[in-house]
């Protein structure tokens, strides 16, 4: 339904490959936080069965991704780093409006954008890695993220009129592009 309005330069992936240990630690943290976000969503909206079922499934899938990244890390002798605030996520969360309806719509749309950015960047990592199991893993993760961003848009369209979803998504995409372009490249997903 949408395209990101800022394209991550391919040299971002070289920053990732230059400190892949740190990237793996950040990736694990991102998957864990994504699972937690899905749990938060189904906890806050028990009266929305479609959202609850979707978020339960998403929480389990993201936790499975976390488990897979942890396994890769442990095979390489790498352990989790302390959780840090992600400047990208933090900046996007500040865009969330208050008010019951606005808050839900913005949560769904920012989640869709975050997943779309993750899809783009995991794809860049997959493209930059040499042939082998790690490249294959990141191709699978890329496909998964693509499904996730579509899920959040589908949920938004279940609860809000299309014109309202499209108008707010347009605003958020413009703001996300500015945020992303301004952030320095680092060995992290965002």
**Chain length of the chain:** 190
Q: Which residues of the chain have pLDDT under 70?
A: 1
At residue 86, the pLDDT reads 94
Closest CA to 101 of 164, 166, 38, 40: 164
pLDDT value at residue 171: 98
Output the pLDDT for position 3: 94
Distance, CA of 6 to chain centre:
15
Whole-angstrom Cα distance, residue 3 to residue 32? 25
Which of 39, 41, 100, 30 is CA-nearest to residue 65?
Answer: 30
pLDDT in tens, 23-75: 999 999 999 999 999 999 999 999 999 999 999 999 999 999 999 999 999 99
Structural tokens at position 58:
């998403």
pLDDT at 64: 97
Which tokens sit at 4? 């990101």
**Angle at which helices 162-182 and 133-159 pack, to 10 degrees?**
140
pLDDT at residue 1, as a whole number = 62
Q: Which CATH number does the domain 11-182 belong to among 2.40.50.40, 3.90.600.10, 1.20.1090.10, 1.20.1260.10?
A: 1.20.1260.10
d(C-alpha 190, C-alpha 187), whole Å: 9
Q: At what angle do helices 20-44 and 100-128 cross, to 10 degrees?
A: 150
pTM (global) more than 0.85: yes
């Amino acid at each position: 339904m949408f395209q990101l309005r800022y394209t991550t330069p391919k040299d971002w992936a070289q920053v990732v490959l230059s400190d892949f240990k740190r990237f793996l630690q950040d990736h694990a943290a991102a998957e864990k936080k994504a699972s937690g976000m899905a749990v938060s969503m189904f906890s806050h909206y028990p009266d929305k069965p479609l959202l609850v079922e979707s978020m339960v499934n998403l929480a389990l899938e993201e936790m499975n991704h976390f488990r897979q990244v942890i396994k890769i890390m442990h095979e390489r002798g790498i352990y989790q780093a302390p959780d840090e605030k992600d400047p990208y996520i933090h900046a996007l969360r500040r865009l969330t409006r208050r008010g019951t309806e606005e808050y839900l719509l913005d949560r769904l749309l920012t989640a869709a954008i975050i997943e779309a950015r993750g899809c783009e960047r995991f794809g860049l990592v997959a493209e930059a890695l040499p042939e082998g199991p790690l490249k294959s893993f990141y191709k699978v993760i890329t496909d998964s993220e693509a499904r996730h961003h579509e899920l959040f848009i589908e949920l938004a369209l279940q609860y809000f009129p299309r014109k309202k979803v499209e108008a707010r998504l347009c605003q958020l995409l413009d703001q996300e592009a500015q945020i992303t372009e301004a952030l320095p490249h680092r060995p992290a997903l965002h």
